[in-house]
Structure 1
Amino acid sequence: MKIIERYISRELLIPFMVVVVLLTGLFASFSSARLLAGAVTETLGLSAMLKLVLLKTLIALEVLVPIALYVAVIIGLGRLNKDQEINVLRSSGVSGKRIIYAVLIVAIPVGIISGILSIYLRPWAYAESYILNAQAEAELNTNRFQAGRFYGSVNSGRVIYVRNKDDANNQMANIFHYIKKNDHNEIIVAKEAQQQLTPNQRPRIQLSDGYIYRLTHAATKDDVIKFEKMTYFTDINDVSNYRRKATTTRILWESDQPREIAELQWRLSRPIATILLALIAASFIRTAPRQDKSDRTYFIAAMVFAIYYNLSGLAQTWVEQGVVSSMPGIWWLYLLMAGGLGLLSFGPVQKRLSR
């Protein structure tokens, strides 16, 4: 690598690393705040919540990395342009192709990393997070419950309330439990309860002196059951449910279902999207002297990325819904981006770079 390419690459790598760290930190903080607001620490515990934040952050990296590179190219080349360094390089005979080559030296490895994150790390992180969420919804670990508070889960439709609790004896009094199921809603009311934790067995709660109300959509089929003693087992069968985002790329490759094809194409497109976005960002930098319009450049760059982000979601949705077949699938968007990049390459921007 020549000294010019090495210098430009370093000017891109430094802001890239800074932006990646900032975006990752912001996303992790936002995820932590949402989980804390949902009282996840009280149902799962602090260590499990931190693991869930880490998994969500790993999933987000496939999007955060291309964004960081896009911003880094604009910041890095923008600084070189503002300080007239690109003009000096141009005067010394450095062509625009060498500048683009320096951008590719950074963009291609970052694109490969983005592809690895999307193809391998993302499905693993989704699988782990699904298991963790399912365990949080299935477990009734009353050791973390506090008296006089409601605990619920939007995904499972479960609501639990304990009016009184004796932590020393692991006893609870005046319990209300509601869960929404596919064909009916179930309400359990009991005067006393005690959680029984047995190694290598399903979590269970011993309920005493209560009622079970099973409410169906047809009012004539509602049931009311009175019990003196009842053992309530938590259902953890849904933990292993199939979900396409957690499916390995190899399995998706063999599928002919539109939703799975869309997921596969999204994963495979991450390296291409990363490199194309970096090249588009490089095309925004105008190098003509005394024409510093950085504010306008940043605004246009933000608008272009917003348009790309919305179109990428739309392209994936079209494939999932069968509006667009597997070919062209989502690839039409990247062909459009490559075409637009080609037009820019022969436009005034590239002419300024190559002078």
Structure 2
Amino acid sequence: MTQIERYIFRIALGACLACLIGLTGTIWVTQALRELDLITAKGQTLLIFLFVTGLSLPTLIVVIAPMALFIAVIYALNKLNGDSELIVMSAAGMKPRAILRPFLSLALAVSFLVGFLTIVVMPASFQELRDVITRVRGDFIANVVKEGQFTSLDSGLTFHFRERGQNGTLLGLFIQDAREAGKNKVYLAERGNAIEVDGQSYLALEKGSVHQQQKDSRDSSILTFERYTIDLAAFAPPDSEVVYKPRERSTTQLLFPDRDEVYFKLQKGRFRAELHDRLSSWLYPLALAFIAFAALGDPRTTRSGRGMAVAGAVVAVVLLRIAGFAAVSAAARSQAAVAAVYAVPLLAIGLSALVIFHGAKVRAFNARLAASLRGLAPRVPRLARG
């Protein structure tokens, strides 16, 4: 890069990073606030909360990075034009491709980031998120038992606690165990904590007693304890096989799926659409950068002209994303629509490049076309004034 190209690149890079970090941080905070029930209602630790919310960051970056690039290109071109630098560059004979080069370098870097996250990182984060949520939902203490309510299970267990204290401690515990025929056990404890030892979950009871009575017998036994441990494996429902959705599977699994899998046979179209959506994702940052440069790359002196150009670029981006979503949806229904998934961003890049490198010819053609249409329009006679 030349010195002036490095200068343009620094302006665009700074704006892109500011937008990316600012928007990602803001949206991540709003998403994280929605997951606070992991701590407040489900008794999970702060580490689990940060881990779960952190898994959404790759998805946020993939969505926000192209828009941050689009905003950065518009900002940089507006700044250069406002300071008359763009006009001086053009007057000095600097060709559009030279001005475009730093923006293209930045767009390629963003495209690489988006492609890497979409193809490699996002599927792994979605899969890990599914595993974590499955473990949280399978947590009997966090999700099945409700504070102040008696919860009966099909296995013959009845569970109750008065309230939840600090750090997930359960206060005022009552557990009735009638799983064994002819025997009834009741556990009473002042408090209890869920602990994990060697991957197994247990409930540690403190300061309580165990009441045991045989069926058809008045005899009963009472055992007091300072600490008593109960295995929670019997409390939880049996594990079911986890079926990962297409977006939760690695790109390799989408390229070489198990064709004998029942889920794949039922959702073959979704597998195909997800694969090609990932492989085409890196094209969109390039398309957005080209659209922004095509709209604002020419030096202009009037503010109104640039305002209309920015509005036109925004409309073009919205239409591009709508067309992209429609193409992916069509690819899920038909194999023939796969080409449209790649054609949409490539067409946007091609049309924008045509405007950038042959803008004068395009504008002259549009002017001639408009003049021809005005000439073909029927003349409306003027009404004579009385």
TM-score, with normalisation over the residues of structure 1?
Answer: 0.74
Partner in structure 2 of residue 328 of structure 1 = 339
Counterpart of 1:307 (choices 310, 315, 319) is: 319
Partner in structure 2 of residue 270 of structure 1 = 281
Partner in structure 1 of residue 352 of structure 2 = 341
Equivalences for residues 1-355 of structure 1 within 5 A = 1-36=1-36, 38-43=37-42, 44-142=44-142, 147-148=147-148, 164-165=162-163, 171-173=172-174, 197=195, 199-200=197-198, 203=201, 232-235=234-237, 237-238=239-240, 240-255=242-257, 257-285=268-296, 287-293=298-304, 294-320=306-332, 322-323=333-334, 325=336, 327-345=338-356, 346-348=358-360
Cα displacement string for residues 295-318 of structure 1 (whole angstroms, at most 9, x for unaligned residues): 333333332222222222222222
The separation in 2 between residues aligned to 1:26 and 1:286, in whole angstroms, is 30
1:118 Cα deviation (Å)? 0.9
Distance 1:290-1:131 versus aligned 2 partners, 3 A rule: same
Distance 1:144-1:80 versus aligned 2 partners, 3 A rule: farther
The separation in 1 between residues aligned to 2:112 and 2:342, in whole angstroms, is 18
Contact 1:84–1:289 under 8 Å retained in 2? no
Cα displacement string for residues 79-107 of structure 1 (whole angstroms, at most 9, x for unaligned residues): 11122110011111111111112211211
Cα displacement string for residues 29-54 of structure 1 (whole angstroms, at most 9, x for unaligned residues): 11112112x45553222221111111
1:129 Cα deviation (Å)? 1.0
The separation in 2 between residues aligned to 1:191 and 1:258, in whole angstroms, is 53
Contact 2:328–2:338 under 8 Å retained in 1? no
The separation in 1 between residues aligned to 2:310 and 2:240, in whole angstroms, is 47
SS of equivalent to 1:237: coil
RMSD: 3.8
Larger Rg: 2
The separation in 2 between residues aligned to 1:238 and 1:202, in whole angstroms, is 17
SS of equivalent to 1:7: helix
Contact 2:141–2:194 under 8 Å retained in 1? no
Contact 1:285–1:297 under 8 Å retained in 2? yes
Contact 1:134–1:239 under 8 Å retained in 2? no
Long gaps (5+) in structure 2: 151-158, 177-185, 205-209, 212-231, 260-267, 365-386
Contact 2:269–2:334 under 8 Å retained in 1? no
Partner in structure 1 of residue 374 of structure 2 = none
1:28 Cα deviation (Å)? 0.9
SS of equivalent to 2:173: strand
The separation in 1 between residues aligned to 2:141 and 2:161, in whole angstroms, is 16
The separation in 2 between residues aligned to 1:169 and 1:130, in whole angstroms, is 27
SS of equivalent to 2:281: helix
SS of equivalent to 1:172: strand
The separation in 2 between residues aligned to 1:303 and 1:274, in whole angstroms, is 16
Distance 1:192-1:274 versus aligned 2 partners, 3 A rule: farther
Letter in structure 2 aligned against 1:303? V
Distance 1:199-1:86 versus aligned 2 partners, 3 A rule: same
Letter in structure 2 aligned against 1:260? F
The separation in 1 between residues aligned to 2:58 and 2:301, in whole angstroms, is 43
Distance 1:141-1:301 versus aligned 2 partners, 3 A rule: farther
Letter in structure 2 aligned against 1:267? R
The separation in 2 between residues aligned to 1:52 and 1:95, in whole angstroms, is 49
Identity of aligned residues (%): 22
1:235 Cα deviation (Å)? 4.0
Contact 1:135–1:236 under 8 Å retained in 2? no
Distance 1:49-1:122 versus aligned 2 partners, 3 A rule: same
Cα displacement string for residues 100-140 of structure 1 (whole angstroms, at most 9, x for unaligned residues): 12211211122112111111111111111111111111112
1:249 Cα deviation (Å)? 1.1
Distance 1:61-1:169 versus aligned 2 partners, 3 A rule: closer
**After the TM superposition, which of the residue ranges 242-251 and 113-122 deviates more from structure 2?**
242-251
The separation in 2 between residues aligned to 1:67 and 1:105, in whole angstroms, is 16
The separation in 1 between residues aligned to 2:295 and 2:10, in whole angstroms, is 19
Distance 1:309-1:248 versus aligned 2 partners, 3 A rule: same
Cα displacement string for residues 119-173 of structure 1 (whole angstroms, at most 9, x for unaligned residues): 11111111111111111111123599883599xxxxxxxxxx9662486775435
